[in-house]
Chain A
């Protein structure tokens, strides 16, 4: 399902850009070089016991002049937002709004400020920039349409607070005329799942080319084993957790008795 989403995204990118996006070169034909090529220093972030965050390098080459925008999108999630109101002196949740497809993680890097590179309409279309992350409203809601914006802002605000939404994770730097690179830092609390790292080449306020690179954030080592075991053998995991805790308590009381 997710794979199809990304595929759809790539197709949408191709459709949005001018026809200069080259089709797959036929064998034996000399064709124009790809206008944009980009890749990550690693396609997997493995989270082990000592994980305190990760840093990846996205590097690439462009065959045409223009600016580069890099967007890191985490797995699409369901965001449930609630607003509190004061009723009889007590703050209680009254209205709620559910947004489907909100990225669990989101970060942008660009070679120049976004508003100088591309018009707002284009940024909105491709959901580039925190202000343009617009997941769809799911299900019935009691929120008035004019209040929706406030809920969307709250999503971004809360996610920024948890270091999961980041505007300007880094500046895309050019090395000479063709090459570019950017450091992408991920916090220790980076959510698991399938990410898409999108690179856009923008010239004259239009997207000339785009490329999507997959990224997998997953557990590794002992963590993966513990998580796997907790999921698949939950009863055994619970029993072992209780036994380990009881054992630790017992050992401690023996240790203290001898003093």
Chain B
């Protein structure tokens, strides 16, 4: 059944959109990543104009992350204090990111630089996570001897704060810095930033894996909402009809995902996430290096 999308200016099969939303929702529920890094390219692949795809994904993300956050909240898996500090850092980061984006753009080839950096970041992160989680799975007795928290030099920083839910007593500067970097990335890359935030929360903040998806989703709600409003005002590219159809599939997927995530062990969850991070990195590298089908690209501006 086809439905016409007013802002995208085209009609699409409703069931394709529902299925797409469902698949992304599942990922988001399991890992606490927004899935924007996957949703946007998939929307572009089925023919939605890139600008509309980016903005409508953000809109969809608002609903999906609200749904996911509430589901995790009921299981007591959202650390509000941690989420708040991350968010504060994230907002500052995204403001600076928007400014940095304009600056880089004036210098030219900004997209290329970002793609290369992102591919390297995802590749390195994915390999590290995969190795770590495989080691944890294979040598469980050894891993069990690990201390409750490993102490890095950052734990000596001032402004210590107690995060009860995460059982952490660390400097607020660390999560604020993680949030800041996430906000910076999401402003420049146009994605939710969950991709960077989730591994950072696990490995840098040393949060319990169970707390990570809910807390990540909590702050994504606000980041996605601000991106949606900014896109609507600045570019007029938010297709609310598209976003709502994706959401219907997405919320169902997210609820199922949250349940699945409860049945998985921490290291399994991390290994799966690592595999997806690696796949995304590989795709970015492939996009940059594989000979394109058509060397020419067209951008049509209708007055």
| B229:A235 contact, CB within 8 angstroms | yes
User: CA–CA, A80 to B300, complex, Å?
Assistant: 6
Beyond A75-B302, A91-B289, whether A248 also contacts B248 by CB under 8 A is yes
| B238:A230 contact, CB within 8 angstroms | yes
| B63:A245 contact, CB within 8 angstroms | yes
Cross-chain contact of A81 among B3, B66, B116, B298 (Cβ < 8 A): B298
User: CA–CA, A150 to B298, complex, Å?
Assistant: 13
| B145 interface residue (CB < 8 Å to A) | no
| A27 interface residue (CB < 8 Å to B) | no
Which residue from chain A places its CB closest to the CB of B8 in the assembled complex? A189
Q: Which of A83, A154, A253 has the most CB of B within 10 A?
A: A253
| B251:A52 contact, CB within 8 angstroms | no
List 22 contacting pairs A-B, 8 Å CB cutoff, sorted by A: A79-B298, A79-B301, A83-B295, A84-B295, A86-B291, A92-B109, A104-B300, A150-B296, A154-B294, A158-B297, A159-B300, A191-B9, A193-B302, A223-B6, A242-B229, A245-B62, A245-B63, A245-B247, A249-B66, A250-B67, A252-B251, A253-B66
B141 → chain A closest CB, angstroms: 38
Instruction: Map CB proximity to A onto B40-68 as digits: 1 under 8 Å, 0 otherwise.
Output: 00000001000000000001101111111
B44 → chain A closest CB, angstroms: 13
A258 → chain B closest CB, angstroms: 12
| B11:A248 contact, CB within 8 angstroms | no
Cross-chain contact of A50 among B4, B231, B291 (Cβ < 8 A): B4
| A231 interface residue (CB < 8 Å to B) | yes
Q: Give the contacts of A85-101 with B (CB-CB under 8 A).
A: 85-86, 89-93
| B303 interface residue (CB < 8 Å to A) | yes
User: CA–CA, A161 to B241, complex, Å?
Assistant: 26
| A151 interface residue (CB < 8 Å to B) | yes
Which residue from chain B places its CB closest to the CB of A158 in the assembled complex? B298
Which size class do A's interface residues fall under?
35 or more
Beyond A82-B296, A241-B232, A249-B63, whether A192 also contacts B9 by CB under 8 A is yes
What are the 9 tightest A-B residue pairs by CB atom distance, in nearest-first order? Answer: A238-B232, A249-B66, A252-B251, A154-B296, A245-B63, A249-B67, A249-B63, A238-B229, A253-B70
| B6:A250 contact, CB within 8 angstroms | no
| A155 interface residue (CB < 8 Å to B) | yes
New A-B contacts (15) at CB < 8 Å, excluding given A83-B295, A244-B63? A75-B302, A77-B301, A81-B297, A84-B297, A93-B297, A150-B296, A154-B298, A155-B298, A188-B2, A189-B9, A222-B6, A230-B238, A245-B62, A248-B63, A253-B251
A97 → chain B closest CB, angstroms: 9
| A238:B296 contact, CB within 8 angstroms | no
| B66:A246 contact, CB within 8 angstroms | yes
| B255:A226 contact, CB within 8 angstroms | no
| A58 interface residue (CB < 8 Å to B) | no
Which residue from chain A places its CB closest to the CB of B4 in the assembled complex? A51
| B298:A245 contact, CB within 8 angstroms | no
Instruction: Map CB proximity to A onto B272-300 as digits: 1 under 8 Å, 0 otherwise.
Output: 00000000000000001111101111111
User: CA–CA, A193 to B33, complex, Å?
Assistant: 40
| B243 interface residue (CB < 8 Å to A) | yes
Q: Which residues of chain B are near A157, meaning CB under 8 Å? A: 294, 296
| A80:B62 contact, CB within 8 angstroms | no
| B2:A52 contact, CB within 8 angstroms | yes
| A78 interface residue (CB < 8 Å to B) | yes
A147 → chain B closest CB, angstroms: 11
Which residue from chain A places its CB closest to the CB of B229 in the assembled complex? A238
Q: Give the contacts of A217-259 with B (CB-CB under 8 A).
A: 219, 222-223, 226-227, 230-231, 234-235, 237-242, 244-250, 252-253, 256-257
| A13 interface residue (CB < 8 Å to B) | no
| B71 interface residue (CB < 8 Å to A) | yes
| A77:B302 contact, CB within 8 angstroms | yes
| B236:A230 contact, CB within 8 angstroms | yes
Which residue from chain A places its CB closest to the CB of B73 in the assembled complex? A253
Instruction: Map CB proximity to A onto B223-235 as digits: 1 under 8 Å, 0 otherwise.
Output: 0010011111100
